[in-house]
Structure 1
Amino acid sequence: MTSPLATALNPSEVELKFHLPEGSRVLLECYPALAAVAPAHHHLVSTYFDTPDRALDRFGLTLRVRWDGEKRIQTVKSRSKGHGVAASRGEWEWPIEQDIPEVALLSKTPALAAAACAIKGRLQPAFFTDIRRTTYLLHLDSGTTAEVAFDEGDIHAGLAREPVSELEIELKNGGVEPLYRLAGALLSTAPLWLMSESKASRGWRLRTGQGAGAQLKLPLRFKRSLCADAGFRQLFGATLGHLTVNIGPTLRGDPEGLHQARIAIREARAILQLFDPYLSADSARRFKEALRTHGQILGAARDWDVFCLETLPAAMPDLSSERLEDLNAAAQVERQRAHEAVAAALRGRGFSEMVLGLVCWSDVGALAPSGHDTGLTGRKLSTLASSLLDRASKRVRRRGRHAGRLSETGRHDLRKSLKKLSLDIEALAPFYGTNAVKRYRRRSEALERILGVANDAAVTDGLAHKLVATNRAALSKPAYALEHWNRVRGRKALIGLRAAMRNLRHQPKFWS
C-alpha cells in the first residue's frame, strides 16, 4: 500500500546533520529537552540500490530498502533542492513485503515515473548501512515538532567499511526557526560540527573511491514582486548553503572544495556589504568579523594551493635549471599545515556556531526580536536593486581612479571591491536583461583577470620569501629565480590595467 507521503505532490525532508565526536552523545542526552523525553531505539539495516551505470544517481535520486525490526520500508530521496544550510530533499516512502525494491511503486508516482522506466529490471545492491538509531521526538512550540536522532554504526561497500557517528535534527512539521534554535542549543552543549554529506553519498564514495566534488552555488530565480527583506534572506541563505555543502570536499582535501567554500564566505560578506545600510549595525559587525576570520584561514590555504598547483607548475618549464622542485617540497609542507588549520577551524565549535547564528539572524530573525532590517520591509527587491548596485559600482570607480598609478595595496583594494561588485551583479542579475548583464560582466571580468594575475604575483613573492625565511637558506636561489619570473608576469598583466578600467567606466550600467 502506498503511504500518504508517497502520494504527495511535493513530499520533502528538512534536516540538519552534525558529526558526533566521541563523548558528545553523553553530554547531549543530558540536555533538558532530551532528558525529559523517553527515547525510541531502532536497529536499521538499509540496502541502497542502483543500476550498473548508476541511472538513479543521474536522475539525482537514491533508492533504499530499510529493515526496521520486522518492517521493511522502501524510500526514494532526491538530492537536496534547497539553497540554505538545512538539507531539503524530496522523499517518498512505501511499506513493502520484500527485500528488493518494488519498482512499480515508483511508476505510480509522477515525479519518479521516468526514473522507474530507466531502472526496470536492472537494479542491483550497491552498498548497505547498519545503524543503531536512538530518536527523541520534541515538541518545540505549539506548531513545530522535530526528531533528534543519534546514528551510530557503519557503512559497508564490498570489503570496505566506514564508521558513522552522526546527530540529525529533522523537522517533522512546523517552521524552521525552532529547528535552528534547537541546533544552536545542542551545539552549545557539546562538541559538534556541521556536515552535509548524506549516508548515500558516503556509500558511493566508499564503493567507488570518488566522493562528491566541490559544489557551485545553485542559481536563484526571483519574481519581480519579491519583497526586499525576503530577497535578502534568500540571497544570504544561498551563500550559507554554498558554504555548508562544500565542508565535506574541503575536509577531504579537495582544493576546489576549499576554493568554493572561500568564495561562499566572500559571497556572504558581499551580501552583507550590499545591504549594509538596512542591517542592524552591531550584529552585522559581529558576523562580518567572524566571516572575515574564517575567510582568512581558508584564504591562507588557498594561497598555498595556487602556489603549489598553479604557479610552480607554470614556472617550471621556464626555470627548469633552478631546482624549483626543492621549493615545491618545502611549499607542500606549508600547504599541508594550512589545510590542517582549515580542518581544525571547520570542525571547531566557532564555525558551526557562526553558520547557525547567521541563519537565525538572517533567515528567521532569532537574534533580533525587532527584525534585522531597518528599511527593507514593504519594498520590492527589484526596485531597490539599482541603488544597491550603484553603491557597489561607485566603490569600484573610486578605487579605480588613476588605475595605472595604483600601489600594490591600491590594486588589492580595487580587486576586492570589483569581486564584491561581481558577486552583487550575479545575485541581482535575474532582474535584468541577460545580454546587458553579459556585456557589463565581460568588461568587469577582463579587469578582474588582470588584477588577479597581479595579486597572484604579489602573493607568490610573499610565500617564496616565507619559505626562505623559515630556516631554508638553501632555497634562496630558486626563490629568487621564481621572484624574477613572477615579477615579469605581473608587469605584463598590468600593461592592460588602465585600458581595462577605462573600458569598464565607459560601459553603460545595465541597472540604470
Structure 2
Amino acid sequence: MNAETELKFRIPPRQMASVLCNHRPRGATSRQTLVSTYFDTRKHKLGRHALTLRVREVEGHFVQTVKADGSGSMTRGEWESDVAGARPDLGKASNSPLHRFTAKKLARKLKPMFRTEVRRTAQARRVRNSRIELAIDHGRIACGRRSRPVSELELELKSGRIADLFRLARRLERSTHAELDLRSKSERGFELVAGSGGGAHHAEPIALKHALSPRDAFAVIARSALRQITANADAVRAKEPEGIHQMRVGLRRLRAAISLFRELLPRASTARIKAELKWLTNELAPARELDVYLTQSIAPAADQGVPKRGVRAIRSRFETQKEEAFARARDAVGSARYRRMLIDVMEWIESGRARAGDDRSIASYAAEVLDRRIGKVRKQGKQLGELDPRQRHKLRIRIKKIRYAVDFFESLYRDRDQSTLASLSDRLKRIQSALGSLNDFMAHRTLATEAALSAPPANRRAQAFVSGFIVGRERKAAHGLMQDAEKELHRLHRLNIAPGK
C-alpha cells in the first residue's frame, strides 16, 4: 500500500499556463493523457464503504487503483496494480480493502459508472528539503451525455514535511488564485451520476471510531465542516439563499467543534483561525438575515389585510438591501482572504497532534462533554424568564453546540440507543428554534423601526403601518415561544446512555 498526501485546488483555466511558466521546476516536465473509468455496483457498495475503484489507461497501459477515503484527510491509502485491460481484475486487489468482499460476486456486479479524460502536465518541485509533485489536470468528467469540466491543480508530497506542501500552496494561491477543493474527481463523478453537485450541499454524516483519540476525532469532524464550507462556494457565488445558509452551517459546525474540543487545541493558532471564521460568518450574515426577514416576516404580511402600498414599499427597500448583502457574500468568497483562510484552516487541522499523556478515547471524551454541557444548560434554563435578550442568545448558542455535539458523536452510540439520541436532538432543536425566533424578532424590530423612520414621505405612513404590524405580530408570538422553550427545557435531562460498540 502507498499513502498519498496531497492537496487539490480549483484553478481558472486561464491561469494554468502561468503555474508552469512562473515557477521554475527542479526536474523534467511530463505530459500525459489519462483516461480513467470508475467502477461500482448499482447500489454503490464501494462508495458506501468509502472505497474507490478505477482503471486508468496511459498510452495503452492499464493500471487498476483502489483508494480508501481518509475521512477527508489529505492522506489516503492507495493500492495500485497493472491489469491486462480496461476491466478491473479483483484478483490483483487482494491486498487492498476490497479483500473484505467476495471477489467473484463483486466482480459480477461491478459496472462502469463514469469516465474522466484529462491532459496532465506534471513537474517536480523542491521546497526546502521536501520533494513535491505539481500536476495540472485539464479535461472532462463524463457520464453518458452529461459532462463537467476539470481544471485542477494537485500538489502531492513525495517526501519531506507537510509544512512545505502548504508553503508551496500559499505561493501558488497568490500567483494563480488557486482555491482549495476537498472533492476528488471520483466524488464529482458520482455527483454527476446522481444528477447532483450543483446548488447547496448539506453536512455529511460523521463516522468516528471508538479507538480514536479526542484530537484525531476533532480532525475528522473539522474536515467534515470544512468540506461543507468549500462545497457551497459556488452556490454562494450564484447568490443562492440555501447555499449561503449551508456555508454558514458549515462555519457554525466548525466553530462549535472548536468550542467542544478547545482544551485540546493550541491557543495561539486556534485564536487566529477563529478570527478568520468569524470574519466569513459576518460577511454572510446580512444576506441570510435579510432573506429570512423578507420570506418569513414581510411576505406573510401581504396576506393579512395590511396596505399593499406599504408592503410593496418595504419589500422593495429590503430586496435592494438583500441584493447588496448577497453581493457582499459573493465578494467575500471570491476574495484572496477566503482562499488563504481555507489553506490556513486545512494546515491547522492536519498539523494537530494528541497531547502526550492524554490516553482518553473519543468515547469517554464525548460522554463527558455531553454530560457537562447538558447539566449547565439545564441549570441556566430554570431562570429562562429572568434572562435578558443577550443572555437568551448565549443560552441558544450553548444549546446549538450540544445539538452539534450529538450529531458529531452519534456514531459512537449503539444502535439500540439511537432513538434516545434522536429524542434529545429533537428536544434541543425545538428549544433552539424557539429561542432563535425570539432572537430574530429582536433583529426584525430594529429593521422595522429603521424602515419606518427613514421611509420617504410618500410612503412613510404605509411603511410605518406595515412595520408596526410585523412587530406587533411577532411580539404576540413571542409569549408562546417563551412558554414552548421553558416547557422543553424543563423536560431536558442528562443522557442515561453511554457510547459503546
**TM-score of the two chains, using structure 2 as the length reference:** 0.75
Query: Aligned partners of 2:397 and 2:489: how far apart in 1?
Result: 14
Q: 2:32 aligns with which of 24, 36, 42?
A: 42
Q: Which amino acid aligns with 1:71?
A: G
Query: Aligned partners of 2:304 and 2:82: how far apart in 1?
Result: 63
Which residue of 2 is the match for residue 350 of structure 1? 337
Which residue of 2 is the match for residue 502 of structure 1? 490
Give structure 1 stretches of 5+ with no counterpart: 1-7, 366-370
Q: Which amino acid aligns with 2:467?
A: A
Give structure 2 stretches of 5+ with no counterpart: none
1:145-156 to 2 correspondences below 5 Å: 146-152=132-138
1:427-466 to 2 correspondences below 5 Å: 427-432=408-413, 434=417, 435-465=419-449
Aligned residue for 1:379, secondary structure, equals: coil
Q: Does structure 2 retain, via aligned residues, the 8 Å contact 1:24–1:190?
A: yes
Q: Deviations over 1:468-509 (max 9, x none)?
A: 6776663444333333333333333222232222222x5556
Query: Aligned partners of 1:461 and 1:72: how far apart in 2?
Result: 68
Query: Aligned partners of 1:42 and 1:188: how far apart in 2?
Result: 27
- Judged with a 3 Å threshold, the aligned counterparts in structure 2 of structure 1 residues 490 and 162 are, in CA distance, closer, same or farther, namely same
Q: Deviations over 1:241-298 (max 9, x none)?
A: 3333333444444433332321221122122222323433222222211111112222
Query: Aligned partners of 2:239 and 2:77: how far apart in 1?
Result: 26
Aligned residue for 2:324, secondary structure, equals: helix
Aligned residue for 1:496, secondary structure, equals: helix
Cα RMSD (Å): 4.5
Q: Does structure 1 retain, via aligned residues, the 8 Å contact 2:25–2:124?
A: no
Which residue of 2 is the match for residue 360 of structure 1? 347
Q: Does structure 2 retain, via aligned residues, the 8 Å contact 1:160–1:206?
A: yes
Q: Which amino acid aligns with 2:402?
A: L
Query: Aligned partners of 2:439 and 2:261: how far apart in 1?
Result: 27
Q: Deviations over 1:67-114 (max 9, x none)?
A: 75x436577888x944336495978786677xxxx4465798656977
Which residue of 1 is the match for residue 60 of structure 2? 71
Query: Aligned partners of 2:139 and 2:119: how far apart in 1?
Result: 6
Q: Does structure 1 retain, via aligned residues, the 8 Å contact 2:449–2:467?
A: yes
Q: Does structure 1 retain, via aligned residues, the 8 Å contact 2:139–2:150?
A: yes
- Judged with a 3 Å threshold, the aligned counterparts in structure 2 of structure 1 residues 137 and 71 are, in CA distance, closer, same or farther, namely farther
Which residue of 2 is the match for residue 3 of structure 1? none
- Judged with a 3 Å threshold, the aligned counterparts in structure 2 of structure 1 residues 416 and 358 are, in CA distance, closer, same or farther, namely same
Q: Larger deviation: 273-282 or 319-328?
A: 319-328
State the identity as a percent. 24
Aligned residue for 1:495, secondary structure, equals: helix
Q: Which amino acid aligns with 1:503?
A: R
- Judged with a 3 Å threshold, the aligned counterparts in structure 2 of structure 1 residues 94 and 444 are, in CA distance, closer, same or farther, namely same
Query: Aligned partners of 1:108 and 1:338: how far apart in 2?
Result: 55
Query: Aligned partners of 1:203 and 1:374: how far apart in 2?
Result: 39
Q: Larger deviation: 238-247 or 174-183?
A: 174-183
Query: Aligned partners of 1:326 and 1:201: how far apart in 2?
Result: 46
Q: Is 1:294 matched up with 2:283?
A: no
Q: Does structure 1 retain, via aligned residues, the 8 Å contact 2:72–2:223?
A: yes
Q: Does structure 2 retain, via aligned residues, the 8 Å contact 1:192–1:347?
A: no
Q: 1:421 aligns with which of 402, 412, 415?
A: 402
Query: Aligned partners of 1:406 and 1:29: how far apart in 2?
Result: 60
Aligned residue for 1:244, secondary structure, equals: helix
Q: How many pairs are equivalent?
A: 480
- Judged with a 3 Å threshold, the aligned counterparts in structure 2 of structure 1 residues 430 and 211 are, in CA distance, closer, same or farther, namely closer
Q: Which amino acid aligns with 1:35?
A: P
- Judged with a 3 Å threshold, the aligned counterparts in structure 2 of structure 1 residues 188 and 309 are, in CA distance, closer, same or farther, namely same
Q: Larger deviation: 279-288 or 466-475?
A: 466-475
Q: Deviations over 1:33-61 (max 9, x none)?
A: x53333223355x587899xx94879759
Q: 1:276 aligns with which of 250, 262, 271?
A: 262
Q: Is 1:218 matched up with 2:205?
A: yes
Q: Does structure 1 retain, via aligned residues, the 8 Å contact 2:54–2:88?
A: no
Q: Deviations over 1:364-398 (max 9, x none)?
A: 24xxxxx6x76773333333444433553455346
Which residue of 2 is the match for residue 485 of structure 1? 473
Which residue of 2 is the match for residue 16 of structure 1? 7
Query: Aligned partners of 1:298 and 1:85: how far apart in 2?
Result: 27
Q: Larger deviation: 57-66 or 340-349?
A: 57-66
1:38-437 to 2 correspondences below 5 Å: 38-43=28-33, 46=35, 55=42, 60=47, 70-71=59-60, 81-84=69-72, 86=74, 102-103=86-87, 105=89, 117=108, 131-138=118-125, 146-152=132-138, 164-170=150-156, 178-196=164-182, 211-212=197-198, 213-223=200-210, 225-319=211-305, 322=308, 324=311, 327-365=314-352, 377-393=358-374, 395-397=376-378, 399-432=380-413, 434=417, 435-437=419-421
Q: Does structure 1 retain, via aligned residues, the 8 Å contact 2:3–2:75?
A: no
Q: Which amino acid aligns with 1:489?
A: A
Q: Does structure 2 retain, via aligned residues, the 8 Å contact 1:457–1:489?
A: no
Q: Which amino acid aligns with 1:452?
A: G
Q: Deviation at 1:216?
A: 1.7
Q: Deviation at 1:182?
A: 3.5
